[in-house]
Amino acid sequence: MANYMDLIASQKNTKGGIIEAFHAIQKEYNYIPREALTAAAKAFGMSEAKAYGVATFYSYLSVEKRGKYIIRMCESAPCHVAGADEVIKAIEKYLGIKTGETTADGKYTLELTECIGQCQATPVITVNSEPIFNVSPEKIPEILSAYK
């Protein structure tokens, strides 16, 4: 795993690039650990409180530890009318967790997302930002079992 200091340093010359640094950290850690946030704040000349404010503003950034696979269910109107609610229920049932939670083994985190712009194939979920199209409750076990 890359050291967060290196990840921050890689973005150091990106003007205002703390969000880019957060992306780089999240790619490795799946969330932004506290020490990493503090270090990023310092590197970008921002107070820790402000950096925390930035990190908590954006849905795709998290300051809390998350699973290895982050499953996001789109629930915007096009997916909603295509049956997103039923898919969410199926995922919750399959993983045994509620939306917003992480499985006990630390493998999966289930989140809701707004539209991910793949509306040609609703409903859509993403696993670690990779979209999976035309999902249905029945397909869920097969889809998720591929992520070990």
Partner 1 sequence: MEEKRVLLEYADQINPESAADYIKVGGYKGLEKARAMQKKDLIDEVKKSGLRGRGGAGFNAGMKWSFVPQDAPVKYVVCNLDEGEPGTYKDRIICEKNAQALLEGMAICGAAIGSDQGYIYCRGEYPFVVELLKNAVKSAKDAGALGDFDIEVRMGAGAYVCGEETALIESIEGHRGEPRFKPPFPGVAGLWAAPTVVNNVETFACLPYILVNGAEWFAGIGAAKYPGTKVLTLTGDINNPTYFEVPTDYKLRDVIYKLGGGIKNGKKFKAVQVGGTSGAFIPEENLDTQIDFDSMGAIGAALGSGAVLVLDETRDIVDTVARITKFFEHESCGKCNPCREGTFRMCEMLHKVNEGKASEKDLENILRLAKVMRKASLCGLGQAAPIPVESTIKHFKYEYMRKLV
Partner 2 sequence: MINLKINGKEIQVPKGTMLLEACRQAGAELPTLCYDEDLRLAGSCRMCLVEAKGRPTLVAACVMPAENNMDILTESEDVVEARKVILELLTARHKFDCHVCEKDGNCKLQDYCYKYGVKESSFAGEGPHFYKEDPNPFIERDYDKCIMCTRCVRACEEITGADAINLEDRGHHAKISTAFNGILADSTCVFCGQCVMVCPVGALTSKVSAGKGKAAQNEKVLTTCTYCGTGCTLELNVNEGKVVGVTSNRDRKYSPVNKGALCVKGRFGWDFIHSPERLTTPLIRENGELRPASWEEALSYAADKLKGVKEKYGPDALAMFTSARVTNEENYLAQKFMRAAIGTNNVDHCARL
Is residue 4 close enough to count as binding partner 1 by CB under 8 A?
no
Report how far residue 41's alpha carbon sits from residue 91's, in angstroms, rounded to the nearest whole number. 36
Q: Pattern 15-34, binding to partner 2, x per CB under 8 A?
A: -------------------x
Mark the segment that binds partner 1 (CB under 8 A) among 1-9, 79-87, 95-103, 140-148: 79-87
Report how far residue 44's alpha carbon sits from residue 64's, in angstroms, rounded to the nearest whole number. 21
Is residue 48 close enough to count as binding partner 1 by CB under 8 A?
no
Is residue 64 close enough to count as binding partner 1 by CB under 8 A?
no
Partner whose binding site includes residue 3, from partner 1, partner 2, none (CB under 5 to 8 Å by kind): none
Closest CA to 33 of 66, 65, 81, 78: 65
Beta bridge partners of 115: none
Partner whose binding site includes residue 47, from partner 2, partner 1, none (CB under 5 to 8 Å by kind): partner 2
Is residue 37 close enough to count as binding partner 2 by CB under 8 A?
yes
Give me the amino acid identity at 28: E
Element containing residue 87 per DSSP (H, E): helix 84-95
Report how far residue 90's alpha carbon sits from residue 93's, in angstroms, rounded to the nearest whole number. 5
Q: Which two tokens stand for residue 79?
A: 């997916």
User: Residues 15, 49, 146, 148: which binds partner 2 (CB under 8 A)?
Assistant: 49
Is residue 8 close enough to count as binding partner 2 by CB under 8 A?
no
- For residue 66, the SS3 value is coil
- Which residues contribute to the site for partner 1 (CB under 8 A)? 14-20, 22-23, 44, 46, 50, 53-54, 57-61, 75-82, 113-122, 126, 129
